Structure 1
Amino acid sequence: MNTKLFWIVVCLLAFAACSKSKDSAPPCNIITVNSTGDDPTTFTYNKDGKPVSINYGTYKTEFTYSGNTINILQTNNGVFRTRWIVEVNSKGLAEKIRNEHNAAGTDWTDMLHTYNGDQLQKIATVNKSGVVTRISSFTWEDGNPVLISYNNGDPAIRYEYYKDKPFDPKVFLVEGNYWDVARPKNLLKNMYYGDDLNWQKTYEFDSKGRVIAQTEKTGSSPTTYLYTYDCDR
C-alpha cells in the first residue's frame, strides 16, 4: 500500500470521518486502490463510513471503536506488526496516540498533540520512560499546514497545495492516514525535505468531482494510483 511521506515524517496517519444525518445519502468511500505492478489495497467500512479493515497482500489492518478510543491493529500473515491506540477529543481530533511496538504492549511510544482550535500546533513524542524525544511544530497558512519543524536538528518539511482543489478525507485515508489530526483546506501538491523537492502530486477527477486517480512523482519515477468507489458498484 502507498503510505505517503506527508505524515510519516511526523508519525501521523490520519483519518477524517464525515458525520451524516438520518436523511443523508450513505457515504461514498474508496474501496480499492490499484497501481501497476503492485497488489491492490482493499477497504471495508461500517455504516458510519469509518474504516473496519484494510487488506494489502499479506498485511491486514483492523479497526475497533469504543467511545473516544480507536484501536488499530496491523498484522502480516497473522503475526503482530504494530498497534495504535488513539484517543480523540470532542472534535474528533487525536489527542494522544500510543504506538505499541510488541504484542504484549510493554514497549511503546506516545505522541501528544496540541491544537489551536482545529489546527495542529505541536506533537511531543514521548518514550515509555517518559522522556520527550522530539517536538514537531506546525506552521499554518491559508488553512493549510505548510511547515513542520523539529527540535532535534532534523530538516524541516515544507508543503505546497492546490489552492483551487479542496481537501478530500477519503483520499487521505487510503494514502495510509488512519486518524484525524489535521484538517487542511486543500489537496497536497508538493513536499520539500529541507531545500529539496521530494515528491509531486497530480490528481484526476470524474464528472462528480471525485478523485479517481492520483500520480505521485518521486524524482523521475511517477506512480499512478486508481481509486474505485463503493457507490459505483
Structure 2
Amino acid sequence: MKLNRRHVLMLSGAAAVTTLFSPAIKARAAAPFKQPDLPYAEDSLAPAISARTVGLHYGKHHAGYFKKLNTLVEKTPYADLSLEEVIIRANKDGDTAIFNNAAQAWNHNLYWQQFKGGPAAPKGEFLQAIESSFGGFEELKKKMTAEGDNVFGTGWVWLVKDGDKLSIAGMQDAGDPLADGKKALVGIDVWEHAYYLDYENRRPKHVTAVLSKLVNWEFAGEQFQE
C-alpha cells in the first residue's frame, strides 16, 4: 500500500504533527525539498559566529543534507510527505540515512531562523516557565551550555517544550526532539563544523556566545505560545 500523508497523520497523530511546528520553520512541501534562504547576510552573526563559518555551515553542510535527502527519497513513498512527516516516519521505521538527513535539514532550518532579528530577552509566560523550570534565564543558559559540553562527539543541545513543561535535551548526531513528540524551541548545533573555525575546541564558549548574543528569545517565546 502506498504510504501517503493521510496514513502518516493517522499513525503519528494529526494533533501532534500540527502543534509541534512553528509557521516560521514548517516545511510543508513534499520532495524535492528546498533549503530556505538564509534570513540575513552571512556576516550578520559575527563576531559570535564568523561569516566564514556561516558560509561553510549554511552553504556546504546544510545544503548537503537537503541534496542527500532528495536523492534518498526520490521515487519512494517519502517523496509525498512533508519534511516533518519524513522525520517522524523514518525514525519510526528505522530508516537511518533518511532520518539523519531529514532531521539535520530541519534542525538547521530552526537554527538559522532563531537568530533572525538578533538577541532579545524572554518575557511573559515564556519567562515564567523558564524561571519555574530552571530558576531563571541565566541559569537556563548555564545549564544549556553544560549540557552542550556533555554531548559526546557530534550533536545538538535543545530547549524543548514537553506538554506544559520546559526541559533541556542533549542529543547526539542528528538528534531531533520532533522524533520524541516534543517541540523544539531553541537548538544549538555542537557539531564541530558549527564552531571549530571560531572557537577551536572551546565548545562551551561557542554555546554561551550563541545563547547570549544571537538567539532571538522572542522567537522562541512565540513557539512556546503556540
Higher relative contact order, structure no. (Cα contacts within 8 Å, ≥ 6 residues apart)? 2
- Tell me, yes or no, whether TM beats 0.5: no
Greater strand percent: which structure?
A: 1
Q: TM-score, normalised by structure 2?
A: 0.23
Q: TM-score, normalised by structure 1?
A: 0.22
Greater helix percent: which structure?
A: 2
